[in-house]
Structure 1
């Protein structure tokens, strides 16, 4: 991975910077200088029967999701879709989206946020979830 320091990034499976949001946890593998401010690479782990962030879109950023474990439900535009392990989802700028774990098993996704760094937003997101804990998925 190219970065502003000119060195590769090698993260062990349990490595990264973790942000705990109760029933949701994010583990950032690379962001900011590590990716020359081009993208953020993170894992998101969602406990059973847990809603995600809520419907949102990004003005100019692309997002990729790859289901690592379990089953997730993804809202893309106005359609919810079931996403089992191995499913790939591409979200272009301006498209409303959300995700939930509606199953009774923990689920995880790999997320690549393209269009700049994202991790700098995490302290405010963690604070928001502390005040608004994730709800049960329907």
Structure 2
């Protein structure tokens, strides 16, 4: 966890693995920048999935676009009715009002970088963590 709070006027430099870490069952989220640091313009987080594991379940956002960028392994991402494999270096934008989900269907860990625009997604994380704890 970070030792001090940043705001939108601060430079923000985090080393690999640093940020606000949330354990969500077979997923781990690491928030790198959120609404407090970006004047609510965007939130950036890493999502790490254990081998052969599901994601959050199908969902959509009314007012938020999402961008996913593959950082390790291959993550399968549902966009509408189609699953797309996102590998390291692959880029995927999902517009608002689009049903989506993600999963790791491989035998090795996968990771995606997520840009949530505008920001604020991190407000959901405490309740998401609690849900995963109660639904192991």
TM-score (ref. length: structure 2): 0.91
Match for residue 90 of structure 1?
93
Asked if 1 retains the 8 angstrom alpha-carbon contact of 2:61 and 2:97, the reply is yes
User: Number of paired residues?
Assistant: 131
| Residue ranges of structure 2 left out of the alignment (5+ in a row) | 1-5
Deviations 1:115-138 (A, max 9, x none): 1211111000001111223xxxxx
Deviations 1:34-88 (A, max 9, x none): 1111111000000001010111110010000001000111110111122221111
TM-score (ref. length: structure 1): 0.90
Runs of 4+ in 1 over 4 A off after TM superposition: none
Asked if 1 retains the 8 angstrom alpha-carbon contact of 2:26 and 2:50, the reply is yes
Distance in 1, Cα, partners of 2:12 & 2:124: 21
Give the C-alpha shift of residue 107 in structure 1: 0.3
